[in-house]
Amino acid sequence: MAQFIVRRLIATLILIAGVIVMTFALARLLPGDPARLIAGARAGPDAVAAIRDRLGLDEPVHRQFLTYVSNVLEGDFGQSIITRRPIAEDILTFFPATLELVLLAGLVSVVLGVALGTVAAVYSARSADVAVRGAAVFGLSVPDFWLALIFQLVFFATFGLLPFGGRLGTGVVPPEFVTGFMTIDSLIAGRLDLFADALRHMIMPVAVLAIPSMAIIIRVVRVSMLEVLSQDFIRTARAKGISPFQVYARHALGNAMLPIITVFGLNLGLLISGAVFIELIFDWPGLGRYTANAISASDYNAIMAITLVVALAYTLINFLVDLSYAVLDPRVSLK
């Protein structure tokens, strides 16, 4: 286990180094002058030159890269053009909102996906299987931005059951920032009304994020369960008189978990990247909307910092998935 962790840490460092090089190079290839953007459209040449000198943009590219790497190692990603604040502070402010959305969507997708996929496998080639597979195909086929607009049209504009967007209602004072998770911070503050309001605002964006992920999990669970249910040990368990629920939940599903864990880990990474459109549509103040604003404003430092954060998130998720293999199945070697 220790050797495996060391190897993965080395691979992670190499990956992050590659991401730093690529993002730095791509940012320098983008059109536009960061000094001009920071100074403003009405700034004179002297003001732009002063900002360029302060940021080191007039130095050779290799020296700019070394300065950037040194600052990143110290946790300094520079200042955002949009918010005029340190980018590290912005990420700590906006990322919890995205993480709350992604984790809840991932939980919903895996719980419903495993349950429906198991039902489809148990009742293979029957009406329940056909219905579940049809729902999975629908979830994979429908674009998430279209689904988000339909949800808003139906549940907000037509029936008025759910709020349009945001994390809390208009004029509602949020709880004190502790974790950045609105639901948890509401409970810490003892405000059950804020907790209920936060959950209502999360229903639509979580559902839109979870549906495509759930559809993938349904298909993987069904195929994996059908393969396991055809094994000899399942027939032996049935012959011993074990109840069907224990056969499916304990013996079959437990042995079909490895592919499910793999897909779930990949889906978490996709949910983080897919949150950009969802946050824009639902006016969710998270890292996705911050990323979109940074791209539209050509905020190079913010774009590079967000890319590093997402790359680290992907790497951490894959690392935890690999570790879970050995926990779930002792036959798996981490050598």
Domain-wise residue ranges, the chain: 94-298+309-328
Mean pLDDT of 275-280: 88
Name the β-bridge partners of 221.
none
28 — phi, psi (to 5°)?
Answer: -75, -20
Q: Is the pLDDT of residue 31 over 80?
A: no
Average pLDDT, whole number, for the chain? 86
pLDDT at 323 over 70: yes
CATH value of 94-298+309-328 in 1.10.3720.10, 2.60.40.10, 3.40.50.300, 3.90.1150.10: 1.10.3720.10
| Paired tokens of 91 | 């990420």
pLDDT band at 181 (very low <50, low <70, confident <90, very high): very high
Instruction: Give CA 129 to chain center in angstroms.
Output: 29
pLDDT of amino acid 161? 93
Q: What is the largest CA-CA distance in the chain?
A: 86
b or e along 145-160 (b: 16 or more beta carbons within 10 Å of the residue's beta carbon)? eebbeebbeebeeeee
DSSP 230-264: TSHHHHHHHHTT--HHHIIIIIIHHHTHHHHHHHH
Q: What is the mean pLDDT of residues 26-49?
A: 73
Specify the pTM.
Answer: 0.85
pLDDT value, residue 335 = 59
Average pLDDT over residues 69-82: 85
**Confidence at residue 329, expressed as pLDDT on a 0 to 100 scale:** 65
Query: Stretch 323-335: mean pLDDT, rounded?
Result: 66
Helix, strand, coil percentages in the chain from 3-state DSSP, rounded to 5 = 75, 0, 25
